[in-house]
Chain A
Amino acid sequence: MIIKGKAHKFGDNISTDLIAPGRYFHLRNNLPELAKHTLEDANPGFIKKVKSGDFIVAGKNFGMGSSREHAPAIIKLCGVKAILAKSFARIFFRNAINIGLPVLECETEKIARGDELEIDLAKGIIKNRKKGLELIFHPLPKVMVNILRDGGLVEHIRKHGGFKL
Chain B
Amino acid sequence: MGKTISEKIITSRLGREVTAGNIVIVPVDLCMVQDGTGPLAIKQLRKLKRGGALSGPGRAVDCGIFAPEKTIIFLDHAVPPPRKELSNVQRELRDFARETKVNLSEIGEGISHQRLVESFVNPGDIVIGADSHTCTSGALAAFATGMGSTDVAVVMATGKTWLRVPLTFLINVEGKFPQGVYAKDLILYIIGMLGADGATYRALEFAGEAVEKMSLSGRFTLCNMAVEAGAKAGLVASDGLTRAYLKERDREKRYKEIKADKDAKYERVFEIDASKLEPMLACPETPDNVKPISQIKAKNIRIDQVFIGTCTNGRIEDLRLVAEILKGRRCAPGTRLIIAPASRQVYLQAVKEGILEILVGAGATILSPGCGPCVGLQGGILADNEKCLSTANRNFKGRMGNPNSQIYLSSPATAAWTAVKGKISDPREIM
Contacts and interface: CB of A to CB of B under 8 A. Distances in A.
Interface of A: 13, 15, 17-18, 21-23, 25-30, 41, 60-61, 64-70, 73, 87, 89-91, 94-95, 98-99, 141-143, 152-154, 157-158, 161-163, 165
Contacts of B131: 66-67
A142 B413 CA distance: 48
A23 B86 contact: no
Contacts of B47: 154, 158
Contacts of A41: 397-398, 403
B97 interface: no
A67 B41 CA distance: 12
Given A26-B85, A28-B39, A69 B200 contact: no
B151 A153 contact: yes
Contacts of A26: 78, 83, 85-86
Given A18-B398, A90-B232, A163-B160, A27 B148 contact: no
A15 B54 contact: no
Contacts of A13: 196-197, 286
Interface string B35-52: 011011000100110010
Nearest to B39: A29
Given A17-B399, A66-B132, A25 B375 contact: yes
Interface string B1-25: 0000000000000000000000101
A141 B201 CA distance: 13
Interface residues of B, number: 57
A87 B158 CA distance: 30
Nearest to A22: B376
Nearest to B45: A154
Contacts of B39: 28-29
B272 interface: no
A95 B232 CA distance: 14
B89 interface: yes
B148 A69 contact: yes
A151 to B, nearest CB: 12
Contacts of B230: 61, 64, 89-90
A25 B377 contact: yes
Interface in B79-104: 83, 85-86, 88-89
A27 B403 contact: no
A21 B132 contact: no
Interface of B: 23, 25, 36-37, 39-40, 44, 47-48, 51, 53-54, 77-78, 83, 85-86, 88-89, 129-132, 134, 146-151, 153-154, 157-158, 160, 162, 164, 196-197, 200-201, 230, 232, 286, 375-377, 381, 394, 396-403
Contacts of B129: 67
Nearest to B401: A23
Contacts of B153: 154
A98 B147 CA distance: 11
Contacts of A157: 48, 53-54, 154, 157-158
A23 B376 contact: yes
A108 to B, nearest CB: 15
Contact of A67 (B77, B130, B232, B396): B130
Given A26-B85, A90-B230, A158 B48 contact: yes
B396 A29 contact: no
15 contacts: A23-B377, A23-B401, A26-B85, A26-B86, A29-B88, A89-B197, A90-B201, A94-B151, A95-B148, A98-B148, A143-B23, A154-B153, A157-B53, A162-B158, A162-B160
A-B complex: 10 closest residue pairs judged by Cβ atoms? A22-B376, A69-B148, A95-B148, A61-B197, A26-B85, A15-B396, A98-B150, A17-B396, A67-B132, A41-B403
Contacts of B401: 22-23
A25 B36 contact: yes
Nearest to A87: B197
Contacts of A27: 85
A81 B189 CA distance: 38
Contacts of B83: 26
A18 B396 contact: yes
Contacts of A89: 197, 200, 230
Given A17-B396, A21-B403, A162-B160, 18 more contacts: A25-B376, A26-B83, A26-B85, A29-B85, A29-B89, A41-B397, A66-B375, A68-B37, A73-B40, A89-B230, A90-B200, A91-B147, A95-B150, A95-B151, A98-B148, A98-B150, A99-B150, A165-B23
A68 B398 CA distance: 15
Contacts of A142: 23
Contacts of B130: 67, 69
Contacts of B134: 67
A69 B152 CA distance: 11
A64 B200 CA distance: 10
Nearest to B199: A90
Nearest to A42: B397
A143 B162 contact: yes
Contacts of B394: 15, 17, 65
Contacts of A15: 394, 396-397, 399
A27 B154 CA distance: 24
